[in-house]
Structure 1
Amino acid sequence: MTERTNYPDRTILDRSPTRPSKKRTPSKGNGHADEALTVIDPKAPLDVASQFMLTHWMQGGVGCMAFWRSEFWRYAPNGWQQMSTDDVRAELYRLLSVAKHPVENLLLSVKPTPRMVNDVLDALRARAKIDDARDAPFMLDGTVLPAGGVLVVNNGYIELASRTLRPLTPNLFAPSRADFDYEPDSGDPVKWLAFLGEVFDDDPASIALLQEFFGHVLSGGNLYQKALFIAGPKRSGKGTIAGVLTRLIGRAAVASPALHTLGDPFGLAGLLNRSLIVVSDARLTARADINNVVETLLRVIAGDPVDVHRKFLTPLPAVVLPGRILMLSNELPAFADASGAITSRFLILRTRQSFYGRENPKLARELAEELPAILDWALDGLTVLTKRAHFVEPGDAEATRETWDRATSPTAAFVADCCVVGPHCEVSDDLLFGAYEAWCMRQNFKPLARNWFYRDLAPVVATKRRRRLVGGVQKPFLDGIDLCDSPLG
């Protein structure tokens, strides 16, 4: 008869009290499992998950595996990274397959089954759970981060207010990392400033606004509740600007949705945990739900809590999305917002010239070499913005906004062209609507139906409807608005 010890999956369990047990050395949190003997009880999945956390996913007493907002995250030498459920499942199969479990006086190799792995996977979710209400970045031990925010880079993390570089630690849970080494006092970003000078025709107001918006995005705050819209001809540097800002905060911190998807049922899911939302071609199709798109933009820019519905995952209630919006386009987006609120939320920049046919293919690489200096430049802009406490737009922004307003709310444009408002003004319903239809014909607009016109008029002018006896007949009048003596248009 063959002895039991000849089987490779069996080990004699020595119960002698005089022989010390062999100690295992925990892993360093690098994601690679310790190959020393691991003894588990497969029927206790929560204990197994806790044991794996201690022996394979722990560094300096801090867990290096986390489950936050229905996603797994693992700490690697270069920071926290999202880990797919399939990857976690594969890791569990590997760890279980090299583990042992006691049966009488034997240690038998574990034979992982789908059910066993699923049970441990569910237990790991519970064991590594982080409160979904916490907004990253944050310290896992509850330590409050310094005011002004932090930025994770290749060689540590930067306390932005003091520009102090600290060593990276798993205690700092930050879902993204900028792919460059920070070098304090890097000097001026010469090539970047030369590029901006070409893009904006050396307009200092435009360059200053961009500098302050960069700093605003880095801060992670939303004190000013503004987005940035950059309009201009094709190949005029808009994408390069967005690319530099993306590299400055880390690609994992940036969402790039198509504008129309913001009105979809799951349109907010891709904006979670993102510091920047880049809409690189702001066009709306005829099928887009424009009202939902506008509503989403207004709520995100204002920092209002929103319910985030995710496909096949638990919805997240009342989430404040941290991303600031950067919108790029060759033309003004065709929003529909009778109140005109959406355009007032955007800061406006215009690029002046096209580089079509004379592009510099090495520009992206050249600017990447200046990222540490560009970071200091952006933080200088944040300092100016914080002291002033509001953004200042260049002189041509107002004309662009007026054009955008008129396209976004024709009803408001009609009021501006043809009406006066005030507490002593009044006009008949028929006369006002007739003037509106005539104005639409002159502007080549298709007029709204009467009830839709008055619906769109309500957020533009505060009016009060009443009936008045005219020639023995009760006719509807509006208080608070009247037609100009000489309507424009």
Structure 2
Amino acid sequence: MNDDDLLAEQVNDVFATLTDITVEVGNDTRRVSGPNDPYGVAKMLATYGEATGHPFKSCDERLYIYTGTYWQTMKKASMRSRIYEFLDGRPYIGSKGLPEPWKPNPGHVRNIMQALEAKVDDSDVSTTQEDGAIPVSNGWLIPATRTLLPHTPDRFNTFTTAVEFDPDAPEPASWLKFLSDVLPDEDSQNLLAEWFGYVLSGRVDLHKALFLKGAPRSGKTTIATILEDIIGGGATGISLDSLTRQFGMAPLIGKSLAVIGDARLASSNSLVVERLLSITGQDMVQVEEKYMPMFSTRLPVRLMMLSNELPNLEDTSMALANRFIILETRQSFLGREDAGLLGRLRAELPGILNWALDGLDRLTAQHAFSVPEASLEATKDMLRSTSPLTAFVEDECVLDDDAVTPVSVLFSKYKAWCEQGNVKAMTAQQFGARLHDKGIETGQRRVDGKRPRCYLGIKIAEG
């Protein structure tokens, strides 16, 4: 049964219970309220949602229904249709104390929807669990003790893993062999386990994203696919380009993992950088969905980027590169692919889940990811890629407290460096502002009998 079928079944449960109500004149408190009492109808919907085990909840401009294991977004058009169907012709007690048939119109239904959203509003709800519990398909898992608690609507989760927790699942031998082929050093394998655990945990406190870099057919997509298979409905796929679009942030609502399988951009885009920083930094962002009002929220989603090369993203603040932890898959299996590998790995998902929980334990104990030396070097490369000015200073300059260099001389050197490396140069004003951000001040100094404006504390390297 897919999510849409499951949702229809749960809504049917609620409305079937409502349909069984008999309306009588007198003291029957279950009778349907009339058109002048939309909140009364909304309260009935909320009450019978609770009674059937499928309560409603409203937050972030969305209406949710509890499936029995997680909270699923309801399409408001579907809910409106159900309200029309339920009310049409149903008797209510009219102004003269006699039954009258409901004749719902768009205004009635709109008012009932608004009243229902107000009745079940829980705007401050959070998917973060204070006890660190993880929503797996067979319950709420407490990772520290490996114990299971029953599913409950008292916790807010928008997905469960597609895998049951089994403490006795065998060691995932095929998975470990695969990792030894694509990530031969133990530190890199430990980092990946910690990342899997981080995504499972719902944590966002470390403000990190994972960048999987490697040649074609080097295991990047297989790694991402296995994590997506574990996370199930909590995973989605996006492109960097989609983040620049009007509704590009909407697919991230309620998700635990977003895999960016296409990290290519035709040109550097400051909006992409801004949104990557906002998501990983857990800043408030503006989200817009089709036919719905824009709203502000935090998106507790972890980003995982796959690419053969570093993305074309310019970030003079250098913050973006430090948000990414980079893993490189160095061996390509192009032309010698194992067609049965994914099937064998999927058979080991319960064991891979336990492997990820071990990684989460290690991450919790360390308070930081295990970053191998190769990843540190890759981060330096990304810093140079995202901040060409940093690369220029490293390549062509020396920082010296006593150094004095005329503004025009240093900028000319910078422009020549950009032309040689096919890098888009900043204007002189931008160049000066970015150097100022790095602590390089300007002032007039005597040079060759003149007093030009100079950069202080930096000079062009000799040779």
Q: Normalising by the residue count of structure 1, what TM-score does the alignment of the two structures yield? A: 0.83
Structure 2 equivalent of residue 172 of structure 1: 155
Structure 2 equivalent of residue 378 of structure 1: 356
Q: Where in structure 2 are the equivalents of 1:27-106 lying within 5 Å?
A: 30-34=13-17, 35-38=19-22, 39-43=31-35, 44-54=37-47, 56-59=48-51, 64-97=55-88, 99-102=90-93
Question: Is the 1:71–1:82 Cα contact (8 Å) retained in structure 2?
Answer: yes
The residue type paired with residue 168 of structure 1 is: H
Question: Is the 1:30–1:76 Cα contact (8 Å) retained in structure 2?
Answer: no
Change (3 A) 1:210 1:119: same
The residue type paired with residue 403 of structure 2 is: C
Query: Does 2:260 align with 1:279?
Result: yes
Structure 2 equivalent of residue 259 of structure 1: 240
The residue type paired with residue 452 of structure 1 is: Q
Post-superposition shift, 1:255?
A: 3.4
What is the aligned counterpart of 2:170 among 176, 184, 187? 187
d(CA) in 1 for partners of 2:148, 2:422: 59
Question: Is the 1:469–1:475 Cα contact (8 Å) retained in structure 2?
Answer: yes
Gaps of at least 5 residues in structure 2 are: 1-9, 23-30
Post-superposition shift, 1:230?
A: 0.4
Query: Does 2:248 align with 1:270?
Result: no
Structure 2 equivalent of residue 149 of structure 1: 133
Post-superposition shift, 1:134?
A: 2.2
d(CA) in 1 for partners of 2:336, 2:200: 32
Moved more, 72-81 or 378-387: 72-81
Q: How many residues align?
A: 443
Question: What are the Cα deviations for residues 372-429 of structure 1, in whole angstroms up to 9, with x where unaligned?
Answer: 2211111101111222222232332234333333332222111111211132222122
Structure 2 equivalent of residue 458 of structure 1: 436
Change (3 A) 1:358 1:110: farther
The residue type paired with residue 465 of structure 1 is: T
Post-superposition shift, 1:345?
A: 1.7
Change (3 A) 1:109 1:362: farther
Q: Where in structure 2 are the equivalents of 1:233-252 lying within 5 Å?
A: 233-251=215-233
Q: Secondary structure at the match of 2:127?
A: coil
Change (3 A) 1:116 1:434: closer
Post-superposition shift, 1:84?
A: 0.2
Structure 1 equivalent of residue 186 of structure 2: 204
d(CA) in 1 for partners of 2:57, 2:370: 42
Post-superposition shift, 1:364?
A: 3.5
Q: Where in structure 2 are the equivalents of 1:100-179 lying within 5 Å?
A: 100-102=91-93, 107-131=99-123, 133-136=124-127, 145-153=129-137, 155-179=138-162
d(CA) in 2 for partners of 1:214, 1:423: 45
Structure 2 equivalent of residue 356 of structure 1: 334
Post-superposition shift, 1:314?
A: 3.2
Structure 2 equivalent of residue 214 of structure 1: 196
Question: Is the 2:214–2:328 Cα contact (8 Å) retained in structure 1?
Answer: yes
Question: Is the 2:202–2:300 Cα contact (8 Å) retained in structure 1?
Answer: yes
Query: Does 2:425 align with 1:440?
Result: no
d(CA) in 2 for partners of 1:229, 1:101: 60
d(CA) in 2 for partners of 1:445, 1:281: 23
* Identical residues among aligned pairs (%): 35
Change (3 A) 1:108 1:437: closer
d(CA) in 1 for partners of 2:194, 2:341: 22
| Structure whose alpha-carbon radius of gyration is higher | 1
Question: Is the 1:151–1:160 Cα contact (8 Å) retained in structure 2?
Answer: no
d(CA) in 2 for partners of 1:228, 1:36: 52
Q: Secondary structure at the match of 2:454?
A: strand
d(CA) in 2 for partners of 1:77, 1:98: 31
Question: Is the 1:228–1:348 Cα contact (8 Å) retained in structure 2?
Answer: yes
Post-superposition shift, 1:343?
A: 1.3
Question: Is the 2:325–2:379 Cα contact (8 Å) retained in structure 1?
Answer: no
Post-superposition shift, 1:434?
A: 2.8
Question: Is the 2:127–2:202 Cα contact (8 Å) retained in structure 1?
Answer: no
Change (3 A) 1:309 1:97: closer
Question: Is the 1:335–1:408 Cα contact (8 Å) retained in structure 2?
Answer: yes
Question: What are the Cα deviations for residues 111-168 of structure 1, in whole angstroms up to 9, with x where unaligned?
Answer: 433333233222212222222x32225xxxxxxx442232241x22222332221222
Q: Secondary structure at the match of 1:228?
A: strand
Q: Secondary structure at the match of 2:72?
A: strand
Structure 2 equivalent of residue 479 of structure 1: 456
Structure 1 equivalent of residue 6 of structure 2: none
| Structural RMSD (CA) | 2.6
Question: Is the 1:180–1:371 Cα contact (8 Å) retained in structure 2?
Answer: yes
d(CA) in 2 for partners of 1:463, 1:105: 82
Post-superposition shift, 1:303?
A: 2.2
Question: Is the 2:136–2:163 Cα contact (8 Å) retained in structure 1?
Answer: no
d(CA) in 2 for partners of 1:48, 1:198: 61
Q: Where in structure 2 are the equivalents of 1:225-236 lying within 5 Å?
A: 225-236=207-218
Question: What are the Cα deviations for residues 239-293 of structure 1, in whole angstroms up to 9, with x where unaligned?
Answer: 2211221222232x2232210232345433332222222111111123x6x1121
Structure 1 equivalent of residue 311 of structure 2: 333
Post-superposition shift, 1:311?
A: 4.5
Q: Normalising by the residue count of structure 2, what TM-score does the alignment of the two structures yield? A: 0.87
Post-superposition shift, 1:447?
A: 4.0
Query: Does 2:270 align with 1:291?
Result: yes
d(CA) in 2 for partners of 1:447, 1:67: 49
Question: Is the 1:48–1:120 Cα contact (8 Å) retained in structure 2?
Answer: yes
Question: Is the 1:271–1:323 Cα contact (8 Å) retained in structure 2?
Answer: yes
The residue type paired with residue 230 of structure 2 is: L
d(CA) in 1 for partners of 2:448, 2:71: 78
Question: What are the Cα deviations for residues 285-327 of structure 1, in whole angstroms up to 9, with x where unaligned?
Answer: 23x6x1121122122222233343444433333x332112111
Query: Does 2:401 align with 1:401?
Result: no
Post-superposition shift, 1:100?
A: 2.3
What is the aligned counterpart of 1:303 among 251, 262, 282? 282
The residue type paired with residue 133 of structure 2 is: G
Structure 2 equivalent of residue 11 of structure 1: none
Change (3 A) 1:422 1:273: farther
The residue type paired with residue 223 of structure 1 is: D
d(CA) in 1 for partners of 2:102, 2:239: 48
